Amino acid sequence: MALSWRFWFLAPMVMALATVVLFPTVYLFWMSTQHWLVTDPQRFFVGTDNFQRLLAGADFWQALRVTAAYLVLSTVIMLGLGLGMALTFARAGRGWMRAIVVMPLVIPPVVAGFTWRFLLNGEIGFLGAWLLPAIGLELNPLAEPRAALVSVVIADVWSRTPFMFLILLAALQSIPRDFYEAARMDGANPFHEFFFITLPLLKGALFVAILFRIVDAINTFELIYVMTRGGPGRATQILSIFGWRTAFQELDFGQAAALGVVLLFICLAGAMLLFRRFVQRDLEAGA
Amino acid sequence: MSAPRRYGRWLALIRAGFLGVVFVFVVFPLVWLALASLKTRAAALEVPPALVFTPSFEAYEKIFASGLVGAFANSLTIALTNVALSLAIGLPAAYALARMRGAVQQNLSFWVLSIRLAPLFSIILPLYVLFKALGLLDTRIAVAMAHLTLTLPLAVWLLMTYFRAMPVDLDEAAMLDGAKRWQTLLLVIVPISRPMIASVAVIVFIFSWNEFLLAFFLTARDAQTVPVVVAGLAGTMSFDWPLIAAISIGSMVPALIFVGFAQRHIVEGLASGAVK
């Protein structure tokens, strides 16, 4: 009994995560300081050169702008839709209805992307080639820059809104009924109830939902890869697609690693925010 | 008292209309995909699309004929390996974290949670270089190990939250009877937690089954999983829409089987315990 049972229980997990997460993370930082072209056998230390080239290139800023637009647009739509769905289901939720609405969440994003590409295709798609022209909208949604961004956002909304819906639904259902009854006694109408009871009490859940959305949006890859590959031009090239191009088309592993470091810091900031605000409080309450 | 009632009727109407729109938005793409999988290649290209047509199973037959079944075998093996490993490694770790207090516990749980929030892109290049050096590129082992970055933290976090809500009395009673910690876990905690463990298994399976990015970067041909194959076919110039649709439908089967079963826990899983 030299070591406590805790050590033996935790050791496998720590070792596994050290291999597939900790080591790669450390290695990433090292890679980001190297001159590392797949086509060039020579590798040497270049300091912050990869970062400088990354930040000096127009492609990075373009991808950052697209990511920001993508993030804002998808967050706004998902919040609205998710909140509307949660409010509807909190009152009149039937199990099977909820199961159907939640379905896209467990469908591979690749499939979600393919399905929407199939619908929106300008030559054969139900929406792109038939419905949109039928109502007088002559545009090829995936071939026109702005429409393409909206298209990938719609596909993402389809795929990920259920997640936001479920977070908000759980929060809504934890609001005590008495609050509403008391408000109604005082003559509140449904709009008062929403703005003075529901919304303030949802603040925490909204915060969590938005934070997860940010991380999710940064991790979005396959949906856009399948639908547009970042095109037309670079209209839907978010940071992850830009990273894939840098690494596997331009074969510049050094600069791609530098991008990986930048993304890591963005997400780490989010994780710390989330932890500080919710998890720690929860752990302390639980202890 | 007429005012609330008037609002009530309007709200009910808006609710019903909104629900209708949501249902069409969610269900229609899937129905359309299913229909496409039953068309012939030529029929899928018709505009305006035929709503009534003789179903053809050509696309599904093609999956078997062209050896794409291998991708399903890969996905299944990798997902099941992940379920086994995540539970074997995750159960004791989650239990220990749930019964610990203090700095070690807090730092370790933060680390586990932060992995869930880290961008996958950041670890892909190092993993690629690592597996290349080990000669493991394009093998199921590499993909299964890479998926542990997603599934292990998820399993640990879910089980930890669950175990923490369990009364300590059970453990204490077992230990008073002379059980060791591992006996307590295996003979007392695990049997009671069976429903939750089953749900975690389902969530891990779906995460691994649906994952694309890691599988895409780490495979070339032999170990390709279903999502990678779908993306690959969608990238070829000669589109075979029905074939891709049929594979897509096939790729949904496990998830749809499970979603009814573990819906509530899947929710918590995706939110990594942020939802209470």
A281: number of Cβ within 10 Å: 12
Structure tokens belonging to residue A48: 């912050």
Optimal mutation site among B236, B275, B276, interface A, most CBs of chain A within 10 A: B275
How confident is the model at residue A46, as a pLDDT? 86
Task: Give per-residue pLDDT as tens, B147-164.
Answer: 999 999 989 988 998 898
Lowest mean pLDDT among A84-98, B122-136, B180-194: A84-98
d(C-alpha B226, C-alpha B211), whole Å: 9
- Residue A36's DSSP bridge partners are A43
Optimal mutation site among A20, A138, A273, interface B, most CBs of chain B within 10 A: A20
Q: At what angle do helices A58-92 and B2-37 cross, to 10 degrees?
A: 120
Local confidence band at A152 (pLDDT 50, 70, 90 cut-offs): very high
Local confidence band at B14 (pLDDT 50, 70, 90 cut-offs): confident
Element (H, E) at A237: none
Interface touch B123/A9, C-beta < 8 Å: no
Across chain A, what does the average pLDDT equal?
A: 86
B136: number of Cβ within 10 Å: 18
Structure tokens belonging to residue A74: 């998808």
**Cβ–Cβ pairs < 8 A, chains A and B:** 289
Q: Is the pLDDT of residue A190 over 90?
A: no
Q: Which residue of A has its CA nearest to B160?
A: A283
Tokens 């400088």 locate to A52
Chain B residues touching A243 at Cβ < 8 A: 121
Interface touch A219/B275, C-beta < 8 Å: no
> Taking residues A109-126, what's their average pLDDT?
87
Q: Which residue of A has its CA nearest to B5?
A: A189
B164: number of Cβ within 10 Å: 19
> Taking residues A126-133, what's their average pLDDT?
81
Amino acid at A138: E
Return the CATH architecture of domain A57-251. Answer: Orthogonal Bundle (1.10)
d(C-alpha B221, C-alpha B212), whole Å: 14
Q: Would you call A70 exposed, middle or buried from its count of C-beta atoms within 10 A (0-12, 13-18, 19+)?
A: buried
Q: Is the pLDDT of residue A98 over 50?
A: yes
Q: Is the pLDDT of residue A284 over 50?
A: yes
A236: number of Cβ within 10 Å: 27
Local confidence band at A179 (pLDDT 50, 70, 90 cut-offs): confident
Local confidence band at A285 (pLDDT 50, 70, 90 cut-offs): low
Tokens 């495979």 locate to B219
Tokens 């640990």 locate to B156
Geometric angle at alpha carbon A215, from B108 and B229, rounded to 5°: 105
Say what the ipTM of the complex is: 0.87
Interface touch A189/B7, C-beta < 8 Å: yes
Optimal mutation site among B1, B91, B121, B233, interface A, most CBs of chain A within 10 A: B121
How confident is the model at residue B113, as a pLDDT? 81
Full-model pTM: 0.88
